[in-house]
Amino acid sequence: MNQATPMIEVTNLDKFYGAFHALKNIDLTVHQGEKVVICGPSGSGKSTLIRCFNGLEWHNSGRLVIDGIEVYDGAKEIRELRQEVGMVFQQFNLFPHLTVLENLTIGPMKVRGISKAQAEETARNYLERVHIPEQADKYPAQLSGGQQQRVAIARSLCMETRIMLFDEPTSALDPEMINEVLDVMVELADTGMTMVVVTHEMGFARKVADTMVFMEAGQIVEVSPPEQFFTNPSSERCRLFLDQILAH
């Protein structure tokens, strides 16, 4: 894995919200095809970190290079970058006034300038991949939460993304729908996609993660392969956190 090309390179990154120091001296490298799972207590900066990766938030100092493009506020290439970096949100954020198919085709058509016919073909392809080809003409509100989240994943994939970011993709779902979304994510991982996933689903993490990251109070406290992370974490805080979430 380590001889592969770096896709995300974070060096000495700091981020402030006003006077609040949200990310402190972050260093992290994600290689092509690598799956990174980030966990940590609420407010530790997990969302803030991955939102920096597609320019939804801007860092204040340090360096962030994604797929060879230097990311900073005002960077000209930021829109091209966002087309390469897909993001799946906790609250799905589907476009409620568009059908499922339109949700999937609007990006390729308007942003990439692909023809409608071709965009629809790609969209149906990806709907097949997330196992809901029959829902193409429904509106998001007519779908279950699990189905909506799978549409959201397909929407990102339709942009032919090279990196996928997930911000707690299953934590707004009813328990019986969590697995249908995780299964799709596991299948996606098997295709070799580079993935950064913020989640507390440790079963999923054990199955797909190449690297585990534990964050606390705006800092990365632990980076290790899952075998070591789950059995013998080097930091005491990480051990306590794992005990807590694995207890139930």
Partner 1 sequence: MSDLGISRPKGQPLPKPPFLKRFFDSTLISVGIYVVIVGLIAYGAYIGAQGMGYNWQWYRVPQFLYRNTEVGFEWGEIPIGLVATIKLSVTAFILAMVIGLLVALLRLSDLVIGSAIAVGFLELIRNIPLLVLLYLFYYVLGPIFGFDRYTASILTLAVFHSALISEIFRAGINAVPTGQWEAAKSIGMSPSQTYRYIILPQSVRFMLPPMTGEVVHLIKSSAIVSVIAVAELTTFGRNIISDTYMSFEIWFTIALVYLVVTLILSIGVSHLEKKYAVDQ
Ligand X SMILES: Nc1ncnc2c1ncn2[C@@H]1O[C@H](COP(=O)(O)OP(=O)(O)OP(=O)(O)O)[C@@H](O)[C@H]1O
Please give the residue ranges that form the binding site for Mg ion (CB under 5 A): 47
Question: Which of 31/59 has CB closer to ligand X?
Answer: 59
Q: Check the CA dihedral 199-187-248-91 and report its sign.
A: positive
Distance (Å, rounded) from C-alpha 138 to C-alpha 109? 19
Question: Which of 47/122 has CB closer to Mg ion?
Answer: 47
Distance (Å, rounded) from C-alpha 101 to C-alpha 80? 23
Shortest gap between Cβ of 46 and ligand X (angstroms)?
Answer: 4
Q: Check the CA dihedral 183-5-213-13 and report its sign.
A: negative
Residue at shortest CB range from ligand X: 47
Q: Which does 203 bind (CB under 5 to 8 A by kind): ligand X, Mg ion, partner 1, none?
A: none
Query: Where does residue 25 rank: exposed (0-12), middle (13-18), buried (19+ CB within 10 A)?
Result: middle
Question: Which of 147/199 has CB closer to ligand X?
Answer: 199
- Site residues (vs ligand X, CB under 6 A): 17, 20, 22, 40, 42-48
> Of 173, 4, 200, whose CA–CA distance to 92 is shortest?
173
- Site residues (vs partner 1, CB under 8 A): 54-56, 79-80, 82-83, 85-87, 89, 91, 93-97, 106-107, 110-112, 139, 141, 152, 155-156, 159
Q: Which does 96 bind (CB under 5 to 8 A by kind): ligand X, partner 1, Mg ion, none?
A: partner 1
Distance (Å, rounded) from C-alpha 125 to C-alpha 157? 10
Question: Which of 47/135 has CB closer to Mg ion?
Answer: 47
Question: Which of 41/62 has CB closer to Mg ion?
Answer: 41
Non-local CB neighbours of 126 within 8 Å, separated by 6+ positions: 104, 154, 157, 158
Quick check: 54 and 87 in contact, CB under 8 A? yes
Q: Which does 17 bind (CB under 5 to 8 A by kind): Mg ion, partner 1, ligand X, none?
A: ligand X
Residue at shortest CB range from Mg ion: 47
> Of 65, 220, 183, whose CA–CA distance to 238 is shortest?
220
Question: Which of 47/170 has CB closer to Mg ion?
Answer: 47
Question: Which of 107/169 has CB closer to ligand X?
Answer: 169
CA atoms within 13 A on the CB side of 9: 9
Shortest gap between Cβ of 246 and partner 1 (angstroms)?
Answer: 31
Q: Which does 56 bind (CB under 5 to 8 A by kind): partner 1, Mg ion, ligand X, none?
A: partner 1
Strands of 18-160 (E only): list them.
20-31, 35-39, 61-66, 69-70, 85-88
Q: Which does 155 bind (CB under 5 to 8 A by kind): ligand X, Mg ion, partner 1, none?
A: partner 1
Shortest gap between Cβ of 63 and partner 1 (angstroms)?
Answer: 22
